[in-house]
Amino acid sequence: MPTVVSVFGVEPNRIGGTETFARELSLQLAERGWKSVLCFDTQPPDDVADFLQSRNVTLEVFSAPTTFNWAAINRLVEIVRRHRPTILHLHYVGFISIYPWLAKMFGVQRIFFTDHSSRPTDYQAQRAPFWKRQITRLINAPISKVICVSNFGCRSMLALDLLPSDRFRLIYNAVDISRVSPNPSRGLELRRHYGIPDERKVVIQISWIIPEKGIADLLEVAKLVIQQHRNVHFVIVGEGPFRQEFTTRAEVMGLNQNVTWTGLVKDPFGVGIFDAADVVCQLSRWQELFGWMIAEAMAFGKPVVATRVGGISELVEEDQTGFLVPMGDFRAAAERVQMLIENPELRQSLGNVAREKVRTKFNLKKNVEELIRLYLA
């Protein structure tokens, strides 16, 4: 049976963008009689494993694939020998590694790599030095295609000139629209679960709790908005190493009664995160490659206030699906949030356009179909 081995260098601890992509890929491969081997950093918890399983799926643990030590190398060789894949697809493992040549040595016909890496705040795309270009071309010679998940990502990779331009292909990250079923009562239940009064408007950001995600700016936005509108509540969904620091900062700022920290939510769709939201923010301070949570919010018809960084402007269109503000400009972000809080008709109109944009451009089923066409080429 033809087989695709997908190596995801992440922990599958929730039903998020990576997990829904892996599931949709497996389902479409099954329709073509192919086997799908999904390799994650750790064993998925039972509910996530159940979500990923289908008749053609094998789950494997491939711990710390980004370390490139002997244990990682031996593990890849073991997986390739056992499953004899036609295709190896690398995700979240670093662009320069020995894996493509190892796969080629053990009979893998085609190797794909997807670039998922957001860039630093001050990133400027420029051509790599001559020596680095030559070494990278040699190391990555076996790679058939590099998948870029945004135009920003494509431009960033092409500017480096590390591989011929025809090796790169834009296929956007996307949302499983079949799982999008807006349910106001589910949103109401979530509000009550966290003790958020029914009459409050809810502003949500879903992200890793790190400075690069603009959490400090979001708290400043909350302070300014709440000064004008006491019936607004900010919900910050996610976990991360800086959660305690930012929780303490929110307390010092006097925001306790209007800010909720949920921690990690395993299935934001299923528990009603987006159903509860009136406005969604993403105030990143680094160059986001895409913005999966933005696309998910748009699929639920929610207007978005986000920073104009990286690939975010490919999702959020000014005055069409939401508003873009300069990185770090929390006053501008607060003004936009207030505008949306005060104008339900504007929220509705922007949300309708956002939903349609996801259906046509960020539709997971269509985008995975495009990837499989590349597999079969």
Mean pLDDT of 264-280: 96
Instruction: Name the phi and psi angles at 33, rounded to 5.
Output: 80, 25
67 band by pLDDT with thresholds 50, 70 and 90? confident
**Is the pLDDT score of 310 beyond 90?**
yes
182 band by pLDDT with thresholds 50, 70 and 90? very high
* The pair of three-digit structure tokens given for residue 56, joined into one six-digit string: 């053609």
Mean pLDDT of 248-275: 96
Task: Report the C-alpha gap between 227 and 219 in whole angstroms.
Answer: 12
In the prediction, which pLDDT does 93 show?
93
317: CB partners within 8 A, 6+ apart: 353, 357
Q: 291 by DSSP, 3-state: which? A: coil
Mean pLDDT of 163-183: 96
Report pLDDT digits (tens) over 327-341: 999 999 999 999 999
Domain spanning 177-361: CATH 3.50.50.60: no
Instruction: Name the phi and psi angles at 145, rounded to 5.
Output: -145, 145
Identify residue 353 by its one-letter amino acid code.
V
Q: What is the pTM of this model?
A: 0.95
In the prediction, which pLDDT does 144 show?
97
Task: Report the C-alpha gap between 291 and 149 in whole angstroms.
Answer: 10
**Is the pLDDT score of 1 beyond 90?**
no
Domain 3-174+363-376 adopts which CATH fold? Rossmann fold (3.40.50)
In the prediction, which pLDDT does 47 show?
95
Report pLDDT digits (tens) over 25-39: 999 999 999 999 999
Task: Report the C-alpha gap between 305 and 287 in whole angstroms.
Answer: 16
Mean pLDDT of 213-240: 97
Report pLDDT digits (tens) over 87-133: 999 999 989 999 999 999 999 999 999 999 999 999 988 999 999 99
- Please report, for the chain, the start and end positions of each structural domain, with discontinuous segments joined by +: 3-174+363-376, 177-361
**Is the pLDDT score of 148 beyond 90?**
yes
Please report the beta strands in 171-227, taking only residues with DSSP state E, as ranges in sequence order: 201-206
In the prediction, which pLDDT does 125 show?
87
In the prediction, which pLDDT does 68 show?
81
205 band by pLDDT with thresholds 50, 70 and 90? very high
Mean pLDDT of 176-185: 96
Percentage with pLDDT > 70 across the chain: 100
Please report the beta strands in the chain, taking only residues with DSSP state E, as ranges in sequence order: 3-8, 35-40, 57-61, 87-91, 110-115, 143-148, 168-170, 201-206, 232-237, 259-263, 279-282, 304-307, 322-325
Question: Mean pLDDT across the chain, nearest whole number?
Answer: 96
Q: 119 by DSSP, 3-state: which? A: strand
In the prediction, which pLDDT does 159 show?
96
Least confident of 115-129, 206-220, 297-311: 115-129
The two domains 3-174+363-376 and 177-361 share their CATH topology (first three levels equal): yes
